[in-house]
């Protein structure tokens, strides 16, 4: 198949591109390189440096005529969305609609959307949160993800575009940018490898569901063949709740560094607990995470040593 991947030079998107190419698919990457990096681009993919908000996107999609679009591109910084909600909406809502319009005009068969299990539910009424949990996003970023899920309902029912939304938990792994993407594990890895103390906002007892990049990629592989008129949304996480203090302790133990974390002011509006129920993905997609947190953290630290510090 020919697959167009937006954000294919970014952290998650580049791993998905690599996997699709390994499986023998033809891959086209669209990325504006604002947060994506050229070094992440697979040389076997056809690359267009283009913003998904631009009108030229429709001509590109028409010319390439992909069978499937996998939409990973986003303004992904939650705090930035709070500071600049209009900018977030331009990228994450209007840019996505522009892509959906292009998909329909080009008669694309299937649309895979990277949604957010970390931001779309808000504070949980129960744990772990399943896909039927009330949706009360606390940031413009989460609101935008929810909006596109609703647009996908419209395009599926009215325009006939099959789609699937994957609500990611907190994804971590190699290539995550500790400067631009605000992933706490990436930030901690960089600080610890430099021998510096990371700052934890609040008391460190806030919890998240951390999912390793390889498991997210596998969900995107299984999503290629998924078609349904009824069930379209899936949590992609681990169903394991981990304190931020525990992440720091695990990383410190792996790297064997005697260092203490620093504590700063808690961020206003920060969600305290987040963990996803993944039974639906197991039942419908045959997907389950395979990489434990301890193993994923070791893999991630090893990747940062090689890439940023050349420590073998």
> What domains sit in the chain, N to C, each tagged with a CATH number?
2-171+210-236 (3.40.50.720), 173-208+240-275+290-309 (3.90.25.10)
- Is residue 177 within 8 A of residue 186, CB to CB? The reply is yes
pLDDT of residue 180: 56
CA distance 121 to 149: 13
Model pLDDT, residue 199: 86
Report the alpha-carbon distance of residue 154 to residue 161 in Å, rounded: 9
Alpha carbons 6 and 34: distance in angstroms, whole number: 13
In Å, how far from its chain's centre is CA 3?
Answer: 18
Q: 60-84: b or e for each residue (b if 16 or more CB lie within 10 Å)?
A: bbeebebebbbbbbbbbbbebbbee
Instruction: Report the catalytic residues.
Output: 141
- Alpha-carbon distance of 120 to 169, in angstroms, equals 10
Euclidean distance between CA atoms 48 and 33, whole angstroms: 10
| pLDDT at 268 (0 to 100) | 66
Closest CA to 177 of 303, 53, 93, 22: 303
> pLDDT tens track of the chain, all 312 residues?
999 999 999 999 999 999 999 999 999 999 999 999 999 999 999 999 999 999 999 999 999 999 999 999 999 888 888 899 999 999 999 999 999 999 999 999 999 999 999 899 999 999 999 999 999 998 999 999 999 999 999 999 999 999 999 999 999 999 998 875 568 999 999 989 988 988 888 888 999 999 999 999 999 999 999 999 899 999 999 999 999 999 999 999 999 888 888 888 877 667 889 999 999 999 999 999 999 999 999 999 999 988 766 544
What are 264-270's contacts with CB under 8 Å, separation 24+?
Answer: 264/199, 264/200, 264/201, 264/202, 265/201, 265/202, 266/201, 266/202, 266/203, 267/79, 267/201, 267/202, 269/82, 269/138, 269/139, 270/201, 270/202, 270/206
- Per the rule left: phi > 0, alpha: psi between -120 and 50, beta: everything else, 68 is beta
The Cα 207–Cα 170 span in angstroms is 10
């Amino acid at each position: 198949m020919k697959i167009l991947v937006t954000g294919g030079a970014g952290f998650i998107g580049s791993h998905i591109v690599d996997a699709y190419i390994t499986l023998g698919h033809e891959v086209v990457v669209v990325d504006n390189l604002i947060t994506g990096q050229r070094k992440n681009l697979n040389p076997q993919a056809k690359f267009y440096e283009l913003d998904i908000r631009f009108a030229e996107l429709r001509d590109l999609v028409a010319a390439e005529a992909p069978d499937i679009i996998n939409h990973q591109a986003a303004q992904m910084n939650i705090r930035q969305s709070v500071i600049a909600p209009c900018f977030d909406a331009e990228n994450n809502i209007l840019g996505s609609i522009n892509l959906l319009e292009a998909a329909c005009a080009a008669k694309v068969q299937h649309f895979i959307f990277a949604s957010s299990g970390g931001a779309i539910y808000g504070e949980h009424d129960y744990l772990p949160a399943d896909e039927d949990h009330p949706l009360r996003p606390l940031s413009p970023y989460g609101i935008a993800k929810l909006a596109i899920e609703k647009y996908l309902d419209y395009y599926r029912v009215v325009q006939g575009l099959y789609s699937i939304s994957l609500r990611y938990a907190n994804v971590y792994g190699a290539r995550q940018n500790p400067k631009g993407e605000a992933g706490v594990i990436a930030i901690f890895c960089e600080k610890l490898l430099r021998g510096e103390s990371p700052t934890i906002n609040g008391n460190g007892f806030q919890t998240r569901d951390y999912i390793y990049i390889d498991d997210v990629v596998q969900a995107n592989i299984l999503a290629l063949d998924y078609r349904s008129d009824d069930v379209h949304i899936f949590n992609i996480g681990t169903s394991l709740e981990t304190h931020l203090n525990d992440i720091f302790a695990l990383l410190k133990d792996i790297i064997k560094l005697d260092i203490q974390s620093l504590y700063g002011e808690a961020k206003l509006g920060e969600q305290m607990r987040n963990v996803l129920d993944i039974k639906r993905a197991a039942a419908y997609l045959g997907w389950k995470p395979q990489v434990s947190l301890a193993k994923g953290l070791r893999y991630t630290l090893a990747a940062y040593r090689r890439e940023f510090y050349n420590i073998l």
